[in-house]
Structure 1
């Protein structure tokens, strides 16, 4: 790794620089200049904005085709491809007004197009938008996206669920690297802090073609914050306060850039007491503390873009095993608890050739997870070290055909150092080879791809057979071929249809194959099955969208069939007074979708009404329902935008009513859940007091202090309600 970094950062400085430049003017349809339009070159990590005359200028650009995005609130974003064959090029852009959200460039798909051009429907949301909803954690914000929910343990631990699938079936990417953190456990959270993350993209459906095993159910792709514009130095400080948990979230970030070099650093600290339910009681030991540090350094010229990022995250999480006991507002966790350390190092490189490019991404993740029962000696301590590599070559475009070929791989080791073992020491190796192409004509696009993967898992025998903590020797190899086919067309200028059929796979994880012991986080004895087969699925997705100046409608439907679906089932026996759960398999299917509208009536340009409904049903082959399927949800919001004289800009006020229906379709060992309605309120904007400028957000969630228990809450079996009313005050200063 050190040799690679040395070559890419020291050797690059000796490369010759091309002197290509691009300039132009951005105007509206009335030929009036637009001030502050963001021009971004995502592959080069470069950007600028238009001046008071709508002019922009970019220098030190590579020869050949360069992709740019032009975006500004209130206007339709544009994605442009410019073929730079001369030293000075000019590109003037006209933006059309739009009442709806900016059409963002999607990074998680193969060809990095704006969403309106994508064959696959991808949900995109900025972290700022999620934070304005008043949620206290990143996963709570994600759960407000249609089709996404969470398996929660209090307010501190949440696992994403995409259309009924979670755990190892949902792959998480950050800094361009797949996150590996023992995600098989229901009480193993993301281990990511939203500070220093700019946006999230959600692929709802099998994405094994691009990401391999564990993307069978979908992908969460987190985009890190951008570097500063060239020749600037900027900083920001944010502070959030939470009434319910007496919590505090602080973040400080600094970044600077030259034409070639870029640097940023950010530190964050998060602390919360036990959360309070509607009757005023606090749920014992749901407190938690989080420290997060992110930094990045990059070098970019006309030939190469190379970005090195590092993220350290430390979590101290209380585990609420005993319900509601002695009341406390302390933020110091008690036993039982978890201690989690995550180190993420990524190196993202793009090499530009005349008409093609090569992406090489390298990643290293060190996850140290400990679980403590009644002392500072860890009962379970699992150390997972993972090295990832991902290389993609983008061929020169032939007419209207774009194509990519790539290889991916992973080397992973799991080592135990605690008193108890849940899974053995083991080594996992992945290798994948894929190719994909995208063909566009008129308003149509066709995208297809093929992929082959192999996963090998090896573990040595340990202990005395038949006793707790013993493991038989494991030597398994799993192969899978997968394909995808997608088609997009515009029926009219305003109506778009997308149809995608894709297969995906997931090799059994180490816990499913080998578990033999008490999992302290779930308080049960888990037994793995060594002869489990690979999960293999095929999913069909249909998306319809209608967009006009003042009305937007979407409808998404899916059907997902999974062969050899793996899940835990109670064995009906006990070991050492713990219920035994076995890992078993059964064919399964999931189906459902999302539907929604966004109405922006004319001439009430300040008013927006949004409504969406989401549903998913999961069944085994024998007709029984699958466990951990989220309840249907209907979400409604009224949002206003306003300005108050010279002291408040970009003002907003939002009233949200979220109705979750009864969940009566439950598996054999689950209980049914009652529906509930929550009312949330948010307001804020950019405040100007003399020379002091800051962003202000004030949010209230569960305003009427409703007592409710979410179906996917892990505290549900103990009858413990979710969080009561919570008021969140957020301030952000640029320094």
Structure 2
């Protein structure tokens, strides 16, 4: 398999040399259907080719150097219905004129996390998507905080700097994160191990809510958070920008700058960012000691594209110093974390290449991630004979290096009528190494390989998608310590196998009404902590014991959705039932070691169910007025009817938003203002080791837009979260057990300037 993989990789790198530069072109004009006036700055885009242009003042567009074949063309423009249809590109010159219909419905985005690259209205599986720029208007301090605005998505947090996604009640190794098209591996099993990605240089975030093991394999049992990097600029164009943000609560400063340029074939971009925050203030005006954090991040990429071939190479380095809070103690505004703290370096290197044949294509994505995690604790003190105290110079108490090589080969078969089929091979090779005194998991090697096939059938008023997958994972861990001593971990050699399937059906009940029904199975192999733990877990006052005989977690989830989208009103309701076999959880066994209660990993069947409901109203003729509301709920229980831990409380979000535009220089253009009330209800359905959490209401405000001063355009924004400085504790806060409140009032002022 490895020989085949490397042969395909090198073939994709060198085959373009033998391809001649074809002169296949596509040109056309885009007009308003009723006025017949040309439309300027309309985005015309081939998602599979990742090639796009915009129309000029005459409404004309032009593509050159296109491969022969049928490719989906997406045309989008604010205030008009999004156009999406397969287009046949023949040898030579091709012409396509389009007329767009006016519409107050927001523009649709192409979904990239699913392999067929459909619009949301065409997708069989419901995928939530949000632009990173929209999250900035909400005043989100971090990406982990920003994604909580998506219905069904929350975050387990440790202060402000550490957060990890929760999708419909599942988190950690049950939620897979993708960045730059490759799986992000950063020791996500740990409670205090955050997302580890900066929001600078991110185009959008997509969320698959439910098992996505068919597309991604193990660890996608609960869902996928798919993070799309910013796009390269259009051919023969150069762009640059500078952004700055200030946050009053943490006296936080965040800045990033980017530059990108493209010729006809070559593309380049680079972006760097810095962020620094002091300890945050709660609603009762107390700073939570050591919630401060610092971060710097760099993202860069190069691309090359000709007619039948495209490739890109991207690299992201993120370094974070994160304080680990333990109490509301010394009230300072220091920016350097005290002990205990984490120092994390995260490298993501990805290569994505595609070869296009007549009506088929081959896509190869190769990723390498390296996570260097260090945790520093209080220095020991030695008393010298004179009674002086000497502070030892010590290295990190915990030091782990995790390296992961992943690959994803997908072949898009030639279309057969309305059938689209993809076959693929995916896998990874992963190593974990320990260098510190403490040990959470052993030195180990994990090998993963999966084979999949998935098909999409488009009918007149409906779509069907189905697929099968087989996975094989091996985990080999080294013996650590001495058998006669505490903390001993024996040698481990386990193998896990799984077959999974998915079936989805989308039906257009009418012009504006869509229903979706999806049934999918998923699986998750137990992680090293669950298999091998044998020691005291810092910060929890418990001794954890792993179980090397744990089985795969396996689940079957049913999703049913109904969506109504008209010109002035949108409505959706989504329900799910997730049945998990051999759910892995931890509980006390009644024993004590060194005065710590012993907690052991066990398995039992579990179920989660709930859903989301919401509407969006923008009434005629007040199209500038938007009223949005959504409600989400999830309930999780073991087979013995005990509730699962870390299940988010039910939440109701209500937003009133206005949008306005002015063409006068010196005035706002594309302006907006909003007021939002987030109501979180009591969480009384708690596990045996959790306390109940009281509900709370948070009022948020914001406004912004495009301002032109001295012929320089800039985007300005100001937002306020928790305006009434409410003192509250989130049920998903890891500081809840210490009675430490979440962040109080926080005002964000931001500016972005194109250069």
**TM-score normalised by L of structure 2:** 0.95
1-structure distance, mates of 2:397, 2:109: 46
Q: Is the 8 A contact 1:9 1:299 kept in 2?
A: no
Q: 2:476 aligns with which of 458, 467, 474?
A: 458
**CA distance 1:4–1:399, shift in 2 (3 Å):** closer
Q: Does residue 688 of structure 2 align to residue 668 of structure 1?
A: yes
Alpha-carbon displacement from aligned partner over 1:451-492 (angstroms, at most 9, x marks no partner): 110110011222122633311111110110000000000111
Q: 1:713 aligns with which of 733, 736, 750?
A: 733
Match of 2:388 in 1: none
Match of 1:335 in 2: 339
**CA distance 1:211–1:522, shift in 2 (3 Å):** farther
Match of 2:387 in 1: none
**CA distance 1:518–1:33, shift in 2 (3 Å):** farther
> What pairs with 1:310-321 in structure 2 (closer than 5 Å)?
310-321=315-326
**CA distance 1:712–1:184, shift in 2 (3 Å):** same
1-structure distance, mates of 2:372, 2:44: 40
> What pairs with 1:619-638 in structure 2 (closer than 5 Å)?
619-638=637-656
Match of 1:404 in 2: 422
Q: 1:512 aligns with which of 505, 512, 530?
A: 530
Match of 1:290 in 2: 295
Match of 1:351 in 2: 355
Q: Does residue 664 of structure 2 align to residue 642 of structure 1?
A: no
Q: Does residue 697 of structure 2 align to residue 697 of structure 1?
A: no
Match of 1:51 in 2: 56
Q: What SS does the corresponding residue of 1:165 show, helix, strand or coil?
A: coil
**CA distance 1:569–1:38, shift in 2 (3 Å):** same
1-structure distance, mates of 2:672, 2:333: 33
Match of 2:283 in 1: 278
Q: Does residue 390 of structure 2 align to residue 370 of structure 1?
A: no
Alpha-carbon displacement from aligned partner over 1:356-377 (angstroms, at most 9, x marks no partner): 0011110000011111111452
**CA distance 1:438–1:360, shift in 2 (3 Å):** same
Match of 1:616 in 2: 634
Q: Does residue 549 of structure 2 align to residue 549 of structure 1?
A: no
Match of 1:601 in 2: 619
> What pairs with 1:83-122 in structure 2 (closer than 5 Å)?
83-122=88-127
**CA distance 1:521–1:408, shift in 2 (3 Å):** farther
1-structure distance, mates of 2:137, 2:370: 32
> What pairs with 1:25-104 in structure 2 (closer than 5 Å)?
25-30=29-34, 31-104=36-109
Q: What SS does the corresponding residue of 2:149 show, helix, strand or coil?
A: coil
Unaligned runs of 5+ in 2: 380-393
2-structure distance, mates of 1:49, 1:182: 42
1-structure distance, mates of 2:203, 2:540: 33
Q: What SS does the corresponding residue of 1:61 show, helix, strand or coil?
A: coil
Unaligned runs of 5+ in 1: none
Q: Does residue 203 of structure 2 align to residue 183 of structure 1?
A: no
2-structure distance, mates of 1:642, 1:121: 30
Match of 2:159 in 1: 154
Q: What SS does the corresponding residue of 1:603 show, helix, strand or coil?
A: coil
Alpha-carbon displacement from aligned partner over 1:686-709 (angstroms, at most 9, x marks no partner): 001131110011000000000000
Q: 1:22 aligns with which of 26, 36, 41?
A: 26
Match of 2:512 in 1: 494
Alpha-carbon displacement from aligned partner over 1:605-658 (angstroms, at most 9, x marks no partner): 110000000000000001110111000000000000012443210000010000
Q: Is the 8 A contact 1:21 1:61 kept in 2?
A: yes
Q: CA deviation at 1:8?
A: 5.8
2-structure distance, mates of 1:406, 1:318: 42
Q: What SS does the corresponding residue of 1:183 show, helix, strand or coil?
A: coil
Q: CA deviation at 1:9?
A: 5.9
Q: CA deviation at 1:25?
A: 1.3
Q: What SS does the corresponding residue of 1:220 show, helix, strand or coil?
A: strand
Q: CA deviation at 1:569?
A: 1.7
Q: Does residue 458 of structure 2 align to residue 440 of structure 1?
A: yes
2-structure distance, mates of 1:306, 1:450: 28
Q: Is the 8 A contact 2:48 2:117 kept in 1?
A: no
Larger deviation: 23-32 or 383-392?
23-32
Q: CA deviation at 1:98?
A: 2.6
Q: What SS does the corresponding residue of 1:142 show, helix, strand or coil?
A: helix
Q: 2:240 aligns with which of 230, 235, 239?
A: 235
Q: Is the 8 A contact 1:46 1:230 kept in 2?
A: no
Q: Is the 8 A contact 1:373 1:520 kept in 2?
A: no
Q: What SS does the corresponding residue of 2:372 show, helix, strand or coil?
A: strand
2-structure distance, mates of 1:468, 1:136: 42
Q: Is the 8 A contact 1:44 1:300 kept in 2?
A: no
Alpha-carbon displacement from aligned partner over 1:274-308 (angstroms, at most 9, x marks no partner): 00011211000000011101000011111111110
**CA distance 1:112–1:522, shift in 2 (3 Å):** farther
Q: Is the 8 A contact 1:213 1:505 kept in 2?
A: yes
2-structure distance, mates of 1:249, 1:521: 30
Q: Does residue 242 of structure 2 align to residue 224 of structure 1?
A: no
Match of 2:491 in 1: 473
Q: Is the 8 A contact 1:79 1:105 kept in 2?
A: no
Alpha-carbon displacement from aligned partner over 1:44-84 (angstroms, at most 9, x marks no partner): 33221111111111111111122322112222222232111
Q: CA deviation at 1:518?
A: 3.0
- Give the total of aligned pairs: 734
Q: Does residue 126 of structure 2 align to residue 126 of structure 1?
A: no
Q: 1:727 aligns with which of 716, 722, 747?
A: 747
2-structure distance, mates of 1:563, 1:613: 28
Alpha-carbon displacement from aligned partner over 1:562-589 (angstroms, at most 9, x marks no partner): 0000112234444334443221111000
**CA distance 1:15–1:399, shift in 2 (3 Å):** closer
Q: Does residue 675 of structure 2 align to residue 655 of structure 1?
A: yes
**CA distance 1:184–1:76, shift in 2 (3 Å):** same
Q: CA deviation at 1:40?
A: 2.2
1-structure distance, mates of 2:10, 2:450: 27
Q: Does residue 388 of structure 2 align to residue 383 of structure 1?
A: no
Alpha-carbon displacement from aligned partner over 1:119-154 (angstroms, at most 9, x marks no partner): 000001100111111110001110110000010001
2-structure distance, mates of 1:579, 1:287: 31
**CA distance 1:237–1:9, shift in 2 (3 Å):** farther
Q: What SS does the corresponding residue of 2:529 show, helix, strand or coil?
A: helix
Larger deviation: 84-93 or 600-609?
84-93
2-structure distance, mates of 1:391, 1:517: 40
Q: What SS does the corresponding residue of 2:661 show, helix, strand or coil?
A: strand
Q: CA deviation at 1:668?
A: 0.2
Larger deviation: 565-574 or 172-181?
565-574
2-structure distance, mates of 1:342, 1:473: 28
Q: Is the 8 A contact 2:24 2:91 kept in 1?
A: yes
Q: CA deviation at 1:3?
A: 10
**CA distance 1:505–1:239, shift in 2 (3 Å):** same
Alpha-carbon displacement from aligned partner over 1:325-372 (angstroms, at most 9, x marks no partner): 111111111100011111110000111001100111100000111111
Q: Is the 8 A contact 1:612 1:635 kept in 2?
A: yes
Q: What SS does the corresponding residue of 2:636 show, helix, strand or coil?
A: strand
Larger deviation: 79-88 or 600-609?
79-88
Q: Is the 8 A contact 1:187 1:522 kept in 2?
A: no
Q: 2:445 aligns with which of 427, 444, 450?
A: 427
Q: CA deviation at 1:7?
A: 7.1
2-structure distance, mates of 1:475, 1:5: 30
Q: Is the 8 A contact 2:707 2:715 kept in 1?
A: yes
CA RMSD of aligned residues (A): 1.6
**CA distance 1:61–1:181, shift in 2 (3 Å):** same
Q: Is the 8 A contact 1:236 1:252 kept in 2?
A: yes
2-structure distance, mates of 1:106, 1:126: 12
